[in-house]
Chains A and B, each alone.
Chain A
Amino acid sequence: MWSPEGGHKARPYTGRAPGMSTLDLFPSREAGLFGRRQKRTRGTRIPVYVVTGFLGSGKTTLVREFLKTPEGANTAVVINEFGAVGIDDALVRAATDEKTVLLGNGCVCCNTRSDLQVALRSLVADRERGAIPHFRRIVIETSGLADPGPILQTFASDRALGGEFHVEAAVTLVDAVSAQDTLEWSVEARKQIILADRLVITKTDLAPAPKVELLKDRLADLNPHASIETAVNGVIDPRLLFADRDEGAGTEDRNAFVAEAAHSDGIRSFVWTESAPISWEVFSRAMETLTALRGPDLLRAKGFLNVAGCAGPVIVQVAQHLMHTPVELQTWPGGERGTRVVFITRNIPEQAVRDLFAAVRALVPQDVSGR
């Protein structure tokens, strides 16, 4: 009790055991296993679009055209040349002039050769102190020779950029005139396509229609999961590229791993689908084992899980050895519950992943609460 004379009279300490989460200390019926259920995967993080594509594919033209549209207002563009030096090379920290330039339409642009994390955090700091317009999204335009893998990985960890930013889509531009030849010899070009969420074929006005159709087939073969659009003179409906993703697209082929593509680099993609709820412990333990043993070859795994004990879908994303913090959404898209995760791997057979999940499942008691 408090009194004006005595102040607070202490009560005996009733401490709790260590290792409890904040949800255990301060429980809430509103929160699920993964905290507050979100309306969308990115929650309230700043959406980021990574625009990549081989040299001359038209990245700059496309981004420039987008910035002129009403939908493109309040966009920050980062021209990132980091990727030009390759995945595992040390960062080149040049003493370049990295000023932020104000464009029209509430947009800004900055050029960075050094640390992408520094560039993005500086943009946010400048925005918060009112030095630049209040941008609502970031478009990262990579070098033509870039492997987008390391950039996507940067967003996988909360300690890096994943806590504040969310890659809404990796968009890869493909030159209709030269792509077929480029894909024959360039590993980076194939990687840019395999890791894309959205593919845009450019310069279709300069290539004959049958060539464009053959290219579409090739792209679909390399990446069956990405949408494929075409741009003419850099013009494309911006909503096709820079809008929130449809989380629920494609829930066919339940109760199966679906092997869909295999490539000469040993890169393959397959989809794991399942109707029955899965225990979070089974999924997380299996993925821990997979990333520990073959992290560098697990290029990307993403999708949504039907986790036992969760009302909404749980969005999971893994980039090599890093797993994004899972997010539970408020509702199932289309009302249909079911797990669907796309795996993009290098030399990891689909059967091996299937066997791993089965082995973990056999060892972990099935707990319907998901805990």
Chain B
Amino acid sequence: MPATESICTNFKLLAHHELDGFGGMGEGMAVQVAKDGRRIIWLAHESAPKNFTAVDVSDPRNPKMVVQTDLPQSFMRSNSLELTGDILAVAYQTQKVGQKPAGFELFDISVPENPKSIAFVDCSGPHSRGVHQLWFCDGEYVHMGAGAPDFEPTHPLDDQFYRCFDVRNPSKPVEAGRWWLPGTRKGDNTPPPARHQAPIFDRGNRAHNTNVYPQKPDRLYLAYIDAGMFIMDISDKANPKPIARWDNSPPYTGFTHTLVPLFERNLLIMTDESTMDEAKDWPKLIWVLDGRDESNPVPIATCPLPPHETFANRGGRFGAHNVFENTPGPHSWFSDQVIVGTFFNGGLRAYDISNPYQPKETAVFVPEAPRGSPAGAIQLNDVFIDERAIVYTVDRFSGGLYILEMDF
């Protein structure tokens, strides 16, 4: 199926905004309702030169840019952001260890046109590339996958781990705790962990998504790339402890990206990330796990994908990346029956998991290749759904923002 063709089944496309030519977007998406009542979606860019962009989506059919900011250095990327109320947290990662600035920054976005820096936390160091991903939904703590100035990994790919910062005084963030996979820090008593097959499938043992939910604030749902996933006890934030671990690799090819608990249903949704063009690391999947025994999550299903040959050579990556994470907050959708995920050139797909043993694909959106995309095809990177059930999804390279309505 050529990349010029598109599919739109059980979604309705409301609008598409190319973000003034800077449509390469990362994995940071969050909605604010400003004091004047405007609904603004804040989006992190995948790479320099742009940092983040805010779009007024009060009328989802007529999105309007509000502000677009720049990164100070070309070797930086933000890629991740979250907000609580009028405070925005943005991650900064560098291309190489030792580069600066690297860390995270808090902004006052009460005047969306004029974000004001409240604090910058330096996470740079001789073995650190800063912060890759962060989670900030309660206004109190920022949870992240990050490096640190005092952390030397046993392997260069294992340079980011779980860190937690107390930002109850947002102008003076203080580290509250950290945890790394034993054996990944020089000086650990535990031997370094076994590695996936280098060079192609060794992506590193690093913290990726670090999700905490108000339903169980003493639990961290931690994705750890090639080390699988962990459920952590963070009742003592200074000393996080693992409760459970599940790793699908080998035989799969690693890169655990996100872990989302569905508390009332005792289910867990886990995603892999596809990181190679032409689906060379296929299959990269969304997994459904039985979480009734918190210490022993059991995989029971995966969300079905179209055949490998349909999308593998369409251009760029094909496979799972992220899902809508039921992000806590008043302007966020919630569902434990429907999973919505992004699959790069496989587009955006929704699944009915009312029977979690048999997820059913219910909706598909695969837009045509965006203008100027080096991949030659859409590469939908992330998705956010607001409490109006309006769906926002972004392209990794040039397509910008797509706004849809669920029609199922």
Contacts and interface: CB of A to CB of B under 8 A. Distances in A.
A285 B318 CA distance: 48
A36 interface: yes
Contacts of B280: none
Given A26-B266, A28-B265, A128 B307 contact: yes
B264 A27 contact: yes
Contact of B295 (A4, A11, A36, A43): A11
A68 B182 CA distance: 64
A334 interface: no
Contacts of B408: 38-39, 43-44
A26 B289 CA distance: 11
Contact of B7 (A4, A36, A38, A134): A134
Contact of A129 (B266, B292, B307, B407): B307
A1 interface: yes
A292 interface: no
Interface in A26-80: 26-31, 35-36, 38-39, 43-44
Given A4-B190, A31-B337, A134-B5, A128 B295 contact: no
A26 B307 contact: no
A26 B265 contact: yes
Contacts of A26: 265-267, 290, 356
Max count, chain A CB within 10 A of own CB: residue among B241, B311, B355: B355
A44 B306 contact: no
A308 to B, nearest CB: 21
Interface string A5-34: 001111100000000001101111111000
A11 B296 CA distance: 9
A83 interface: no
Interface in B238-285: 241-245, 264-267
A22 B1 CA distance: 36
Contact of B360 (A30, A44, A134): A44
Contacts of B307: 128-129
Contacts, number: 86
B46 to A, nearest CB: 27
A3 B306 CA distance: 37
Given A128-B307, A129-B310, A22 B357 contact: yes
A136 interface: yes
B338 interface: yes
A286 to B, nearest CB: 27
Contacts of A134: 1, 5, 7, 9
A128 B293 contact: no
A133 interface: yes
B242 A128 contact: no
Interface residues of B, number: 43
B363 interface: yes
Contacts of B1: 130, 134
Given A1-B242, A10-B296, A44 B10 contact: yes
A30 B266 contact: no
Contact of B230 (A2, A7, A29, A128): A2
A163 B290 CA distance: 25
B296 A22 contact: no
A245 to B, nearest CB: 16
Contact of A9 (B295, B310, B336): B295
B306 A129 contact: yes
A26 B7 CA distance: 32
B139 interface: no
Nearest to A163: B360
A26 B338 CA distance: 14
Interface string A169-209: 00000000000000000000000000000000000000000
A22 B288 CA distance: 14
A136 B407 CA distance: 13
A31 B354 contact: yes
Nearest to B293: A11
B183 interface: yes
Contacts of A11: 293, 295-296
A7 to B, nearest CB: 8
A7 B295 CA distance: 10
B265 A4 contact: no
A302 B241 CA distance: 56
Contacts of A7: 245
B335 interface: yes
A1 B307 CA distance: 38
A25 B290 CA distance: 10
Contacts of B354: 22-23, 28, 31, 35-36
A31 B361 CA distance: 17
Interface string A153-165: 0000000000000
B310 A2 contact: no
Interface in B141-190: 182-183, 190
B108 interface: no
Interface in B284-311: 290, 292-293, 295-296, 306-307, 309-311
13 contacts: A1-B295, A8-B244, A25-B266, A26-B356, A28-B265, A31-B354, A38-B408, A43-B408, A44-B10, A128-B306, A128-B310, A129-B309, A130-B310
* Closest 7 pairs (CB-CB, A-B): A130-B1, A44-B362, A130-B310, A26-B265, A35-B354, A36-B354, A2-B245
